[in-house]
Structure 1
Amino acid sequence: MAGKLAVVFGGSGFLGRNVVRELARRGWRVRVAVRRPHLAQFLRPMGAVGQIQLTQCNIRHKGSVREALRGADAVVNLVGLLFQSGKQAFDSVQSTGAANIASLAAEAGIQNFIHLSAIGADPESDSLYAQSKGEGERAVRSSIPSAKIIRPSVIFGVEDEFFNRFATLASYSPVLPLIGGGKTKFQPVYVDDVADAVCEALVRKDAEGRTFEVGGPRVYTFRELMELMVSETGQNRILAPVPFPIASLIGLFGEVAGKLPFVEPPLTRDQVKLLKRDNIVSIDAEVGTLNDLGVEPQSVESVLPTYMVRYRRYGQFSETTA
């Protein structure tokens, strides 16, 4: 793909930086569209000199999106939110924002389009997160029928917001909450595997117009993931089941705390709603998987020890590491 230009929206995030690195490694020129380019300078050394550009863009403003798309051969939309804060709302980012990018890409004649969604995306969902993801998918398909949609399960890796968050909580709390008893099922997928899936989908003709649900090689319950995490960190913690009604109340307090400056809510009511449904790859024959994109998924057990070491009492010098 030497010389081809891919525009990546949301390229400075956890998944985005891995996608940018992989695109550059495969020979693409990459333009990263972000709200604050001065905070994304760390992306430039991921490619050759001049291979990775940064441009200011707010996906709620069509003018900046149109400018970011100028001269592009392909588009990757990775913009998403875990919780709402101020103007960064689910509908304005994951629904309207996705619609803006897709409609303007179609207007510019760009058909090679990747849209990152999530397992469970559904316009009729009672979760605002899943609802906006579903609306975003529908808007993308309406503008670009050939678009490829990728729905990952929980993404893990060195800078993830899943294992790191709970390992940090376990560092100062003797108790870890198991929402709904910890029975919800997940199929965690390694961030590098998702980045490979994005890059493969860009160049595969048989991926056009398809939806792919990507997960790792094994399904776990939430309890099993917490047990695996505390085992790797050497933290002896109590895993306490928390019924959904109580979790919703905790989520309400979390939302109130999240309105304070520089405070991320530890849990929201919308996240509790998501935890009532399993987050695993569908068995629908029409939905593609990592295997259909030629990607062999890596297991949690093979990757987690490489970055949980920092939470052990003596880090790399702990007896567990030795």
Structure 2
Amino acid sequence: MKASELNVVTGAFSYTGKYITERLLAMGKNVMTLTGHPKRPNPFGSRVSVFPFNFEKPKELIKSLEGAAILYNTYYVRFPHGSLTFEKAVEHTEILIKAAKEAGIKRIVHISITNADEDSPLPYFKGKGIIEKAIIDSKLSYAIIRPTVTFGIEDILINNIAWLLRKSPVFAIPGTGEYKLQPVFV
């Protein structure tokens, strides 16, 4: 891909999206973000243009994606809150995928989760599995990244575990402790 091609990162002001955006900018890429918080302060200034998701207005969403080559999708919800449920996040992402295809996006890089499965009894993993299938079925070029957990300097979960390990003489690990875990540092 050429450095001048436009890259879209959903949630460039969010935890994972911020690090993807920083890396793309460091590589000399042009970056735009789609966000649910377009009025939020833009830490990247004029280097990143900002557009709202516009899930309820797919034609506007398509227009905002036109001219972009790659979509880095970090959009999802950690926990359902208010009207934003896992099912709604899946619906929104399906709208985003269709809009990306109509806008001429060449590739989707999707941040998923280990054990995503559309048949999972757990709504979080089920939703991620449904989204993966929608991306595959779109016939667009894609990469699906399935980290077990992402962590970094501002991370809460891993840093809380590390704090607990430093302070407590005992740390309980259920079962055999033979868990496959490949955290991704951002």
Question: Is the TM value for this pair above 0.5?
Answer: yes
Q: 1:178 to 1:145 in 2, by over 3 A?
A: farther
Give the match for residue 63 of structure 2.
67
Residue 124 in structure 1 maps to residue 119 in structure 2: yes
Task: Answer 1 or 2: which has greater helix percent.
Answer: 1
The one-letter code of the counterpart of 1:30 is: V
Residue 13 of structure 1: aligned partner: 14
How far apart, in 2, do the equivalents of 1:178 and 1:126 lie? 26
Which residue matches 1:152? 147
User: Could you tell me which residue of structure 2 aligns to residue 53 of structure 1?
Assistant: 49
Q: Does the Cα contact within 8 Å between 2:11 and 2:74 map onto a contact in 1?
A: yes
Q: CA deviation at 1:70?
A: 2.5
**Alignment partner of 1:163 is 2:158:** yes
| Counterpart-to-counterpart distance in 2, 1:63 and 1:165 | 43
Aligned partner of 1:117: which letter? S
Counterpart residue number, 2:79: 83
Please tell me whether residue 104 in structure 1 is matched to residue 99 in structure 2.
yes
> Where does 1:271-286 land on structure 2 (aligned, <5 Å)?
none
Supply the distance in 1 between the matched residues of 2:61 and 2:169 (Cα, whole angstroms).
Answer: 45
Selected match of 1:92 from 77, 88, 93: 88
How much identity, in percent, do the aligned residues show?
Answer: 29
Alpha-carbon distance in 2 for matches of 1:59, 1:147? 21
Q: Which runs of 5+ in 2 are unaligned?
A: none
Whether the 8 Å contact between 1:122 and 1:130 is mirrored in structure 2 is: yes
Range 5-14 or range 142-151, more displaced: 142-151
Equivalent residue number for residue 260 of structure 1: none
In 1, the alpha carbon distance for the partners of 2:176 and 2:28 equals 43
Deviation at residue 101 of structure 1 after TM alignment: 1.3
Assess if the C-alpha contact under 8 Å between 2:11 and 2:33 holds in 1: yes
Task: Check conservation: 2:12, 2:18, Cα contact below 8 A.
Answer: yes
For residues 56 and 168 of structure 2, the distance between their equivalents in structure 1, rounded to whole angstroms, comes to 42
Q: CA deviation at 1:71?
A: 2.1
TM-score after normalising by structure 2: 0.85
Change in 2 beyond 3 A, CA 1:91/1:14: same
Displacement of 1:179 after TM fit? 7.0
Aligned CA RMSD, in angstroms, stands at: 2.6
**Divergent runs of 4+, >6 A:** 173-177
**Counterpart amino acid of 2:88?**
S
Mapped contact 1:60–1:96 kept (Cα < 8 A): no
Larger radius of gyration: 1
What is the alpha-carbon distance in structure 1 between the residues aligned to residue 77 and residue 159 of structure 2? 17
* Distance in structure 2 (CA, Å) of the matches to 1:182 and 1:40: 46
Native 8 Å contact 2:13 2:42 kept in 1: no
Q: 1:65 to 1:185 in 2, by over 3 A?
A: same
Residues 117 and 149 of structure 1 are in contact (CA less than 8 Å); yes or no, is this contact kept in structure 2? Answer: yes
Q: Give the gaps of 5 or more residues in structure 1.
A: 45-49, 192-322
Other-structure match for 1:115: 110
1:71–1:189 distance in 2 versus 1, CA, 3 Å: same
Structure 1 residue aligned with 2:129: 134
Task: Give the direction of change, closer, same or farther, for the CA distance of 1:133–1:178 in structure 2 (3 Å limit).
Answer: farther
| Pair 1:37-2:32 in alignment | no
Provide closer, same or farther for how the CA distance between residues 16 and 109 of structure 1 changes in structure 2, counting only shifts above 3 A: same
Conserved? CA contact 1:98–1:140, under 8 Å: no
- Distance (whole Å) between structure 2 residues aligned to residue 80 and residue 3 of structure 1: 28
Offset at 1:61?
4.9
Distance 1:145 1:66 in 2: 15
Show the 5 A alignment for 1:111-260.
111-166=106-161, 170=164, 178=172, 180-181=174-175, 183=177, 184-191=179-186
Shift of 1:152: 1.2
Distance 1:153 1:61, change over 3 A: farther
Letter matched to residue 101 of structure 1:
L
Give the drift of 1:164: 2.8
